[in-house]
Each structure stands twice: as C-alpha cells, then as structure tokens.
Structure 1
Amino acid sequence: MGLKELLLLQIIAHLCLDYFFQTDKLANQKNTIGFKSSFLYWHGLACFVLAWLFSLQLSFALGAAIIAFSHFLLDGFKRHLNNSSYFGRYAFFIDQAAHLAILTLVVVLFNKWHGITTSIDVSINFKYLLIITGYLVCLKPANIFIREVFKATEIQVSSDNEMPNAGKVIGVLERILTLTFILVSQYSAVGFLIAAKSILRYGNNETLKTEYVLIGTMLSFGIAVIAGIVINFF
C-alpha cells in the first residue's frame, strides 16, 4: 500500500463517519450546540477508531489521533461558523474542505516521516478504491452537497430547504446508474437517462419548480460524471 491508497482509505473513513454513521438529527444537534453536544464526543472517538482502522497499520495511531482531535475541534466550533452572517451559508463547504485538507496533510507527513508499512498482508488496488469512493460519494454525500448548494445560493421553492425523500432516492439512483454507465463506457446510455428524466420531470408549467429540478438534476449528473471521469483517468 502506498500514499495514494492510504489517502483514499482515509477519505472513505471520513465519508463513512460524516455521512453514513450519523443521522441528520444528530448532525444538526452537533452543529447547533457544538461542544455541549454529547454526540460530538462520541463522534470524535468514532473518528479516531475509523481513521486508525482504515489505515491498516498500528503505527498510524498518532496520525489517527491528530485527525480525530482536529475533526472534534472543527465540528465543535462549526456552530460559530453557521451563525456567521457572511460565512454561514458556506459553512458546509468550509468545514469539509478543512477536514479533507488536514486529513491529507497528516497522511502526507506520516508517509514522509514514518513510511507506510501495513500491519496485515493485504493487496489494495488503487482503482478499486477509487470506484468504491465514487459510489460512496454518489449516495448520501451528493444529496447533502446539492442541498447545501441550494442553501448557499438561496435557491428554494418551498419554505424549507430540504429535497423531498422521493427526490433524494431518484437522485441516488440516477447517479449510481450514470457512474456505472461511464465506468463501462456506455456514454449513450447516460444521454438516454438524462432525456428520460427530462420528459418525466419537466412536463409542467411551474417555472420556478422546473428550474429548481433542473439545477438539482444538472448538479446530480455532474457529480456522477466527474466521479466517472476521475476514476477512468486513473
């Protein structure tokens, strides 16, 4: 296992921690009351365990601790960022960029100063890790990303800023299909999928709703297409 594989494993650990191992309710509690949230401390502990476990090496314990402590601090102070009159709408993007930047820095420095030597004899294929990462991104993280884009740009149709559950499921399915078609080089099928959704979803006279759906659709397909391009590039 090399630097690229370790970095991807840590990104997968982060995706699991922040998107699949916490509910929206617990995430909102953590973002609202910061260090007063009991869940934040369990979240920090889970971050350490996942970072260490996904490193596949006992010697990464210090690196995992640094990642977990920085994650704990960033999430604890995030409520102040959320309450900012200017940066509040971009809190999600700033927070995630900071997490990934620290994670990357820790992995790079660990590789430079210690070297990567797995504790178990396992062969890891970089492209397979990329494919797993791509599919993970196309699930819940993409839905949250699209929601936060709407929030940051103040685009909304109803009184809340949440996508209907049916829309979330449709988004996940279309991204999974799009990514799969790109990976098997069936690009014409992607065009057919977009055309089919256009016919089914845009046949109404509600201009604002149509534009809202169009933006969400372009973002959704865009995430899957970019993921597919990155995977095929490597």
Structure 2
Amino acid sequence: MVSVLLLKLLFAHFLGDFLLQPTSWVVDKEGKKLRSKYFYYHIAVHAALLLVLLWGTAHYFSILCLVVVTHGLIDALKLYLGKKIASTWAFFIDQIAHLSVLVFIAAYCESWVWNFEWLNDASLILFGLCVLLTTVVAAIVMKVLISTWKIEDDGVALKNAGKYIGILERLFVFGFVVINFWTGVGFLLAAKSIFRFGDLTRSKDRRLTEYVLIGTLMSFGIAIGCALLYRSLQACL
C-alpha cells in the first residue's frame, strides 16, 4: 500500500518549493540570506499547505512542526553553503535532503494516519502529485540541468513561452501514457519536430540543434517516467 501521509507530504513540498515560490523570492533569499523576508514567507507557505493537507491526521501538529523546522534548517544551510558547490549539485542535494526527511517522517508516523474523507483519497493525491512533478517541477529541474549550456538567441520570443510550451507538452505526454495511447506520444514528438525543423535548418549553430534535442528528449522522458510511476503506484492503491 502507498502511504497516504507520504503522498501528502510530497504534494505539499513540491507545491511550496516549485509552484508557490516565485523566482524573485529565490533571488532575494540568495542575496540577503536569513535577512530576506521571503525566506520566512516561503516557510509560512509550507506551513499553510501542511496545515490544510494534514488536517484530520492524528498528531498532525507534531508532524507539521517537524517538517517546517527541518525544511527551514535545510534551506538555511543551502543559502550559506550552496555557494561553495556548483548550483546544479546544490539544487539536487537540497531536494534530496528534503525528500529524505519526508520519507523518514512518513515511515515513522504511518501508523498515526486515519481516514478523513477526500483528504485521504490516495488516488487523488497521487494524481495531483504526478501532474505537479510532470509540469512545474520538471520545468525547474530541466532549467537547472541545461543551464550549463548558454545558447544565444537574437530573436524576440514571448516571455516564458518555452516554459509553458514544455508544461503543456509534458501534460499531453503524461495523459497519453496514462490512458495507454502511446501513438499520441509519437504523434506529438513528430509534430514538434516539424515545427522546430525550420528554426534548426535556418540556424547553422550545431549547438542549438543539440540543445533543442536534449531538451525535447529530457522533457518527454520525464513525462513518460511520471506517467509510468503514476500507473504503477495506482495499481498498488
């Protein structure tokens, strides 16, 4: 059986760390460290999410306090120690630390959980978690991973267009895999290749072609992986 408590903790974490944390907050925190008001706003967001999602769980206040305190400590360590290591490594070490704490708490407290209407619907929480991973979390993870390559673009593009195109693309792939419509994944990949063909043929920069190819394969791979994870965990509920 999939732990409902763990799904709730993961859902709150990814909502608070990715969807509900603007880039401006991150920049301000990196500059001002613990003097940044957004550091405390960020912790408050996590506390509010946990307050809602853990409602009805026995000893939920103790779990909430433990998660919020450890989250704040890990984030503070990242702010002061993150500059000493590469940003990509700092990002993944930070996330692994957060997730490890959540898994430990869920494993220790699982026996405390009792049913409370729809908030304990594991299927609903699992679906929301996988959609969140496929869209916002994947967008930030991909940005971190491919940020090591700097590609100059002299054209004028819509603000955040690439981000939203990627999110919609992964949502389609996620949906196709969930309903076992693999042909749709192939069609989407072919359609994107056709749309990008003109840009790539006009560009004589081989790095741009490789950059687009890496991004596309990474995006599809993450979406397929999240969908397969959802299907396998759904079978365990």
Question: For residues 201 and 50 of structure 1, do their structure 2 counterparts lie closer, same or farther at Cα, with a shift above 3 Å needed?
Answer: same
- Which of residues 162, 177, 184 is equivalent to 1:182? 177
**Is there any run of 5+ residues in structure 2 with no aligned partner, and where?**
none
3-state DSSP class of the match of 1:117?
Answer: coil
How far is the alpha carbon of 1:123 from its aligned partner? Answer: 6.8
3-state DSSP class of the match of 2:149?
Answer: coil
**Corresponding residue of 1:44:** 43
Q: Give the residue type in structure 1 aligned to 2:25.
A: L
Whether contact under 8 Å (1:138, 1:172) holds in the other structure is yes
Q: Give the residue type in structure 1 aligned to 2:180.
A: S
In the alignment, the residues of structure 2 paired with residue 227 and residue 77 of structure 1 have an alpha-carbon distance, to the nearest angstrom, of 29
Identity across matched positions, percent: 29
Q: Give the residue type in structure 2 aligned to 1:233.
A: S
Q: Within 5 Å, give how 1:38-117 maps onto structure 2.
A: 38-56=37-55, 57=57, 59-84=59-84, 86-112=85-111, 115-117=112-114
Whether contact under 8 Å (2:130, 2:227) holds in the other structure is yes
**Is there any run of 5+ residues in structure 1 with no aligned partner, and where?**
none
3-state DSSP class of the match of 1:185?
Answer: coil
Kindly indicate whether residue 129 of structure 2 is the aligned counterpart of residue 133 of structure 1. Answer: yes
In the alignment, the residues of structure 1 paired with residue 2 and residue 186 of structure 2 have an alpha-carbon distance, to the nearest angstrom, of 36
Q: Give the residue type in structure 1 aligned to 2:150.
A: Q
Structure with greater contact order relative to length (CA < 8 Å, sep ≥ 6): 2
Q: Higher mean Cα deviation, 163-172 or 100-109?
A: 163-172
In the alignment, the residues of structure 2 paired with residue 77 and residue 123 of structure 1 have an alpha-carbon distance, to the nearest angstrom, of 32
Whether contact under 8 Å (2:3, 2:110) holds in the other structure is no
How far is the alpha carbon of 1:30 from its aligned partner? Answer: 1.7
Per-residue displacement from partner, 1:165-215 (whole Å, max 9, x unpaired)? 221111011100000111111101101111111121133233211111111
Aligned length: 224
How far is the alpha carbon of 1:96 from its aligned partner? Answer: 0.9
How does the TM-score come out when normalised to structure 2? 0.86
In the alignment, the residues of structure 2 paired with residue 167 and residue 122 of structure 1 have an alpha-carbon distance, to the nearest angstrom, of 35
How far is the alpha carbon of 1:127 from its aligned partner? Answer: 3.0
How far is the alpha carbon of 1:72 from its aligned partner? Answer: 0.9
In the alignment, the residues of structure 2 paired with residue 68 and residue 3 of structure 1 have an alpha-carbon distance, to the nearest angstrom, of 23
3-state DSSP class of the match of 1:156?
Answer: coil
Whether contact under 8 Å (2:58, 2:113) holds in the other structure is no
In the alignment, the residues of structure 1 paired with residue 60 and residue 97 of structure 2 have an alpha-carbon distance, to the nearest angstrom, of 20
